[in-house]
Amino acid sequence: MTKYSDELQRAHLSEAQEDYLKQVLLLSETGPVTTQALAERMGVRPASVTGMLKKLASLGLVDYAPYRGVGLTSAGLQVALEILRHHRLIETYLTKALGYDWDEVHAEAERLEHHISEAFEERIAEWLGHPERDPHGDPIPSPSLTLPPDAGRSLRACQPGYYRLLRVRSQDKDALSLLARLGLVPGARFELLETSAAAVRLRLSEGRYLLPAALADGIDVEEVSP
């Protein structure tokens, strides 16, 4: 039901295997992917991760060597991008068509991403107008399974000035709910007043706010004119 090669279709990948490939892709956005990082992301023991990575390596989907981390092969990358496309299109559809809040869609998309057909994927994309980003600002892989360029940079890495919010990487429901209440959603403009090791201080039209560093680390922005 996906754009895998014939060989991978015959392999009948499980939902868990697809999930691992998607998480390797997401973790690779911020640096090398270690077994420990993958275990923490998946909520399992490192030994379980090692066993799964060996299986995926035997299918030609990852390059894995003990103590050296893991990377996706070209075939594994295609699978991961396909599942990520499903996920982010579903999140967008739930928001636009069914009125879900952006802090509700992640869990629903996690359940549905493995089960939609290509025809359904195409219908969703067409109805939405072929969006490039989901409600969190995350880039949606194209039908040919490429990602649009992501020119944003972390809010914590910025100097004081004026910015537009591009992307919120967090999927934590409480964090997303807080940001929505503050008006810190993709497209929002604000002034960054100062940064520190513990927090960032910024100003929106509604007032001044202090964001914890951990939350600011997951917010991507671009500089704009005052």
Per-residue pLDDT at 30: 84
Q: Is residue 130 part of a domain?
A: no
Residue that terminates a domain, selected from 56, 76, 96: 76
CATH number at residue 215: 2.30.30.90
Contact 81, 140 (CB under 8 A): no
Handedness of CA 74, 126, 2, 70 (dihedral sign): positive
Q: Name the strand (E) or helix (H) holding 183.
A: none
In 44-144, where does DSSP find H-type helix?
46-58, 74-98, 105-112, 118-128
Q: Is residue 166 part of a domain?
A: yes
Domain extent, residue 180, equals 153-223
Residue that terminates a domain, selected from 47, 76, 105: 76
Per-residue pLDDT at 66: 84
Q: Is residue 191 part of a domain?
A: yes
**Integer Cα distance of 23 and 176 in angstroms:** 20
Q: Is residue 119 part of a domain?
A: no
**Integer Cα distance of 79 and 76 in angstroms:** 5
Per-residue pLDDT at 149: 81
Q: Is residue 27 part of a domain?
A: yes
Q: Say how many domains are in the chain.
A: 2
**Integer Cα distance of 59 and 70 in angstroms:** 14
**Integer Cα distance of 219 and 107 in angstroms:** 20
Task: Read off the tokens for 153.
Answer: 């940079």
Q: Is residue 22 part of a domain?
A: yes
Closest CA relative to residue 156, chosen from 116, 216, 100: 216
Per-residue pLDDT at 67: 82
CATH number at residue 60: 1.10.10.10
Q: Is residue 101 part of a domain?
A: no
Q: Is residue 35 part of a domain?
A: yes
Per-residue pLDDT at 151: 78
Residue that terminates a domain, selected from 76, 92, 124: 76
| Averages of pLDDT over each 10 residues, the chain, 226 residues | 49 89 94 93 94 95 90 96 97 97 95 93 97 96 90 92 96 93 95 95 92 94 95
Contact 106, 171 (CB under 8 A): yes
Closest CA relative to residue 184, chosen from 162, 157, 202, 158: 202
Task: Read off the tokens for 222.
Answer: 């671009």
